Structure 1
Amino acid sequence: MPETLQTAATSQAQENPLLKPWLTPLETPPFSEIAPEHFLPAFERAFADHSAEVAAIEHDPATPDFANTITALERAGKLLSKVSAVFYDLVSAHSNPALLEIDKEVSLRMARHWNPIMMNAVLFGRIALLHENRATLPLTGEERRLLERTYTRFHRSGAGLDEAAKARMAEINERLAHIGTTFSHHLLGDEQAWFMELGEADREGLPDSFVAAAKAAAHERGMEGKAIMTLSRSFVEPFLKTSSRRDLREKVYRAFVARGDNGNDNDNNATILEILALREESAELLGFANFAAYRLEDSMAKTPQAVRSLLERVWKPARARAMADRDALQALAAEEGGNFALAPWDWRYYAEKLRQRRANFDDAAIKPYLALDHMIEAAFDCASRLFGLSFAERKDIPVWHPDVRVWEVKDAAGRHKALFYGDYFARPSKRSGAWMTSLRDQQKLDGDVSPLVINVCNFSKGADGEPSLLSPDDARTLFHEFGHGLHGMLSDVTYPSLSGTSVFTDFVELPSQLYEHWQEQPQVLQQFARHYQTGEPLPDDLLKRFLAARKFNQGFATVEFVSSALIDLEFHSQPAAAITDVRAFERAEMEKIGMPAEISLRHRPQQFGHIFSGDHYAAGYYSYMWSEVMDADAFGAFEEAGNIFDPAVAKRLHDDIYSSGGSRDPEDAYVAFRGREPEPDALLRRRGLLEPEAA
């Protein structure tokens, strides 16, 4: 870095917008005033402030109690939270070389800041004393939950280890922070470096909406008058579905699955091996057999065996369905004169043809009815009908990119509830994928703090003023991320650590995946799926064909997901020393489970940011499916009520799931909502895998 954190701290601190009160509407970040050079001095101040706050708690001479220890910890670090939220939003959604360079140093400094706090023996002693005597303390339910989670967090961070083990744990954490950041930078680098120009002859089979989006992507890169392919999933999947140029499908597919695995400066293979070894060592220091055992102890699943049991239960019928579909696709290719064995870059193309034949439906037919603005309206309307929320767009809120939109959210009584930021379009400065995050979390510890919630997606932008048209998968993604957003916006807890999505990883996907169900309901589509040119509603016949086609190709979708979840589990269950070649390990695991050669992992290891860019989903990618067991079962409560907006069910959903954050045990929360534990076969029924699907 041209400046160290120390010297940077003395420069521009007086004028640093991150260190001054925000005189913006609702105290939102003044993005237009914030420059990369402001972050290092702001982090330095935030680290110092937080360390001083923690030291005051540690050295408090008073007998430890909930207020002077647990509540005090909750109040500490406000500036650090504020600066971090803005920084990581920009690094993910609108980065530049300066920010990425700063990210390397900040990730290291973040680990060095938190290690001595989370391993502080005196601080842990205060927490442990309260935890030991928790039965006699006059605590509310939320306070008991916070004490339990605080104790667990410190214990699992190594606060109870001896000094030598703590020192090694600190080294491991620092190194993991550095190479996790390296992994994500490598992935972004490969994605930014690749594009493929689409000449007139290269556009065979591509719908007009796709070509328009490809022109918009070229415009974004300063290539006026051209059309390009990028490696955004929102580009790759529709291209593989519709392009009749098999040679180009292969080229795009190979580039997509090779991200982070090209033997160049962005190669992630060595990074993965080091991450696995360090995670295993950290788990062993804490007394666990492997990282998966460590990771899953603090989850709903509890053990690797429970996860493997669920995944294997789903794998068998999914693979059987996929193999039957493969034979049908191969026959269709041969029927059309294709003298080749079906390859992974062929599956989506022929699956789309087979779906047109069997269900008389293809994505291109419905896309004109799924304009982005209409689907945003639909997501808002469902939230209004379920939870009484209203949404009004605000043009006076500062944003990090001109494409970002902001809405003020109010409750049924008209009271301010949250701000919701939507950043929907792909661009080179944004990492791939879709996610929800926040610039500020809801809490009531010091006044009623309202949340600033963000949804980020990578949809293709319409060209020449045309609207962005979504595929059914894109529309589902929009509802999924908005479900996460509602989890943040509806949060109604006192303590920041329990706010919104601060729940177990295998519970956090329940509110998001459950919300997807409303996107595919006939009454929602009939109202909001309108042709972007004529305004005509979705024809009943097309709606019926769309609904009938939903379970088509579920064998493929389930296989590509479950295989990724299984390899994640195996990476973190098997001895790291036995994994010396990531590609060889991948091949061996896929052979072991009988992975169809025509289907690839949804995320190959070298681009598996969920589990290697950080550890939030490490040994936890299964969580989407664990949550799907609950979401499929949970939506059944509305179906049983005979009304997908039933007020009584919606109130339970609000009170027990969306608003309670991490303030209660997730199993208790689910049973309070549903009246019983989830029924596992609901997942198989939803995916059409419980019984053979009619042709």
Structure 2
Amino acid sequence: MNPELTQWTGPEGLPRFDLINDADFAPDFEAELAAAEAAIEAIAANPEAPSFENTVAALETVEDRLNRLLSIFYNLSGVDSNPARQELQRKFAPVLADYGSRVNMDPRLYARVAAVWEQADSLAPEDRRITELTLRNLKRAGAGLTGEARDRMAQISARRAVLTTQFSQNVLTDERDYVLPIADDRLAGLPDWLVRSMRAAAKERGLDGQIVTLNRSLIVPFLEYSEDRALREVAFKAWTARGSGQGAGGEATDNLPLIAEILALRNERARLLGYPDYAAYRLEPEMAGTAERVEDLLMQVWEPATRRAAEDQEKLTAMLRDDGVNGALEPWDWRFYAEKLRAREHDFDAAVVKPYLTLDAMLGAVFDVAHRLFGLEFQPFTAPLWAPDVRAWRVTRGGKLMAIFVGDYFARPTKRSGAWCSTLQGQHKIGEGQRPIVVNVCNFTPPEEPGAPAFLSWDDARTLFHEFGHATHHILSDVTWPSISGTSVALDFVELPSQLYEHWLEQPQVLDAHARHYETGEPLPADLRDRLLAAGKADAGFGTTEYLESALVDLAFHRGAPATDAMAKQAAVLDALNAPPAIPMRHATPHFAHVFSGEGYASGYYSYMWSEVMDADAFAAFEETGDIFDPETARRLEQTILSKGGSSPADELWIAFRERMPGVDALLRGRGLI
């Protein structure tokens, strides 16, 4: 047994990652799982009459040690995967699924929680809320099923865990193994900063010259700037082939058979629980409630988005013709000509802005906004984390320690793609209480040499703000129970804090203070700043359309009978929408990790836009005061939303902040679509 997996002894209560070996996980996992099972059995078999304290409250802490171990393991599996950890993931997945099924479908626990719920009127508000949610979760897990239906539900859970784990590993393999060497005579159009990043990527892999990988911070700017149309096509097709069996891993990483089985199992699960399909099951506890309401929102935005995209496509096609190409505008052309159009219409060159957008400068902006809104202060400290470039900060307010914040910002071959926020431990007030340890993960291009500045694109800076918005939800959480702390809210409410935080990046007073040239310290010139902000909405038709395609395909996958051929279903949905061929889905089905690497965003990718309707209106609350840092509005935001976690239904939290529900117009204005 390695005590460091459950009794963390590092600085500020962090785990000592330097004392953890892969060989430690399996035996410790088995021991902690057995201990958790024994503790849950004691709750289920308790001869005393069910009470809130001996049933619902007891369940809140029964898996603490197991969860601490798993938080370390799954964090490492995402940020620094290796064959040993991938094998352990495959081993743990069905075991955890079986354990979860037995616990969540235990009729004794179900009966005890139901008995506590009968006394709900006598409970304190938070106690009543977690009792309600615990009972709902048990019902939705199948605790009310019996006989063959019960057995089948357990089998479905175990199999889904295996399939989603394999899906994630297949995508990671394709991303990790793909390399496109770019010869010196094929660098036309690429800015110096991008070529340097491509050479750094090659050096990291022990290669000479420069390469393109499937890291978004490399491949997107390559598609934006490379004048070599043939190379853009090769790179784009590799990027979109991940998980299709046509990627770097070949048939061994083909996710399409996995997807068909995942969809079938989800549908079967929903029908066992009495729902007509998985979308009805999945959306029932969310703010949207039904697939019809989701589709209504998405289609309200589809028409203005595709209208703007069609206007832009005409301009881009004319530019393609000027370059002597008579064929259609292809997906690998769009970003290249959109960048040229942006530069022409807004007199803007993104490369000129890069020297002002270093990671350290933008972190300064992120922390300054948090300080001005919520009084938070950040002090860096040294700790043995999982990679040398991972950083940690103490987060305080008025001298009180609020949280520990960890940032892992640079791409590495062993890290899965994308950006996310997670916790090593969440906030609660049981006993002496527990402060959150929050982790933000990104995949920015690392600096050429250690100690050199890391330059961000505008999209990278937006991602940095987005993920820190999630972090504030954890840092400011102030509830008693772990199950409702931080981001434990409705799926279509969870993106509100993150997307709201992005708005402050676009404010002139924030950019003027923090976007400074890495060599001279001079602020971003006002005219360049204004052109940057105007150019940021220049391709809104494309960005909104590619997102909506993914959201609508996700929704269609989970309504009605499950698709046996996912790619045929995807094509049918896009055809019915009359989707522009030059704008493919943001996440093509074979690597749509939001939907198929777990249950998190299945039938729920729409939630980014549902939350955006609210975030646009929430920022308007600050603007209406004449002060984007208005203290009273910030205090109300914290007290009604950020500190509350899932202690009340999402619509009640929103109404407490804004006193009305929002409409779609603020979203359309924010995206520049009206």
**Class of the TM-score when normalised by the shorter of the 2 chains:** over 0.9
What secondary structure sits across from 2:301 in the alignment?
helix
Shift of residue 16, structure 1, vs aligned partner: 5.2
Once the two structures are TM-superposed, the CA of residue 145 in structure 1 deviates from its matched residue by 1.2
Equivalent of residue 303 in structure 2, options 302, 316, 326: 316
Q: Which amino acid aligns with 2:486?
A: G
- Name the SS of the counterpart of 2:435 in structure 1: coil
In the aligned structure 2, how far is the partner of 1:18 from the partner of 1:473? 36
Q: Does 1:77 align with 2:60?
A: no
Correspondence for 2:235: 252
Partner Cα distance (2:512, 2:540) in 1: 24
Q: State whether structure 2 residue 335 is matched by structure 1 residue 365.
A: no
The 5 Å alignment of 1:208-223 reads 208-223=192-207
Distance in 1 separating the partners of 2:198 and 2:523: 27
Provide the secondary structure at the position in 2 that maps to 1:17.
helix
Answer yes or no: is 1:607 the counterpart of 2:591.
yes
2:133 paired with 1:146:
no
- Separation of aligned partners in 2, 1:608 and 1:439: 25
How far is 1:485 from its partner? 0.8
Q: Deviation digits for residues 396-434 of structure 1, max 9, x if unmatched?
A: x220111100011001x1111111000000000100000
Equivalent positions of 1:619-630 (< 5 A) are 619-630=603-614
Map 1:165-564 onto structure 2 (within 5 A). 165-223=149-207, 225-261=208-244, 262=246, 264-395=251-382, 397-411=383-397, 413-464=398-449, 465-564=451-550
* Aligned partners of 2:540 and 2:672 also within 8 Å: yes
Offset of residue 493 of structure 1: 0.8
1:209-245 Cα shifts (integer Å, max 9, x gaps): 111211221222122x432111011211111111111
Tell me which moved more, 234-243 or 450-459. 234-243
Match of 1:43 among 17, 21, 29: 29
Asked if the contact 2:396/2:403 (under 8 Å) is kept, the reply is: yes
Q: Does the 8 Å CA contact 2:276/2:560 hold for their aligned counterparts? A: no
The counterpart of 2:19, out of the listed 29, 33, 38, is 33
Q: Bigger CA drift: 83-92 or 463-472?
A: 463-472
What SS does the aligned partner of 1:497 have?
helix
Quick one: which amino acid aligns to residue 176 of structure 2? Q
Distance 1:209 1:85 in 2: 36
Moved beyond 6 Å, runs of 4+: none
**In structure 2, C-alpha distance between the alignment counterparts of 1:241 and 1:58, rounded to whole Å:** 59
The 8 Å contact of residues 209 and 462 in structure 1, kept in 2 or not, is answered as no
How many angstroms apart in 1 are the aligned matches of 2:549 and 2:648?
32
Distance 2:360 2:427 in 1: 27
Q: Which amino acid aligns with 1:529?
A: A
Unmatched 5+ stretches in structure 1: 1-12, 691-695
Note if contact 2:9-2:15 (Cα within 8 Å) is conserved in structure 1. no
2:645 is aligned with what amino acid?
Answer: G
* Separation of aligned partners in 1, 2:25 and 2:274: 38
Conserved 8 A contact 1:95-1:430: yes
| TM-score between the two structures when normalised by the length of structure 1 | 0.95
Mapped to 1, the partners of 2:176 and 2:154 lie a distance apart of 33
Equivalent in 55, 62, 69 of residue 48 of structure 2 = 62
Counterpart AA for 1:288? Y
The answer as to 2:635 corresponding to 1:683 is no
Distance 2:108 2:186 in 1: 66
* SS of residue in 1 equivalent to 2:407: strand
Q: Structure 1, residues 278-329: CA drift from partner, whole Å, max 9, x if none?
A: 0000000000000000000010000000000001111111011101110111
Structure 2: distance between partners of 1:550 and 1:481: 19
Unaligned stretches of 5+ residues in structure 2: none
* Correspondence for 1:693: none
Question: C-alpha distance in 2, partners of 1:101/1:336?
Answer: 50
Moved more, 226-235 or 272-281: 226-235
1:61 is paired with a residue whose SS is: coil
Q: What is the distance in 2 between the residues matched to 1:424 and 1:322?
A: 32
Secondary structure at the counterpart of residue 295 of structure 2: helix
Measure how far apart 1:246 and its partner are.
Answer: 0.6
CA contact under 8 A between 2:202 and 2:210: conserved in structure 1? yes
Q: Percent identity?
A: 50
Cα displacement (A) at 1:585: 1.6
Q: Please give the alpha-carbon distance, in whole angstroms, between the structure 2 residues aligned to 1:500 and 1:580.
A: 38
How many residues of Structure 1 are paired with residues of Structure 2 in the alignment? 669
- Work out whether residues 17 and 38 of structure 1, in 8 Å CA contact, stay in contact via their aligned partners in 2: no
Is contact 2:167-2:597 (8 Å) kept? Answer: yes
Helix, strand or coil at the partner of 2:417: coil
Q: CA deviation at 1:662?
A: 0.9
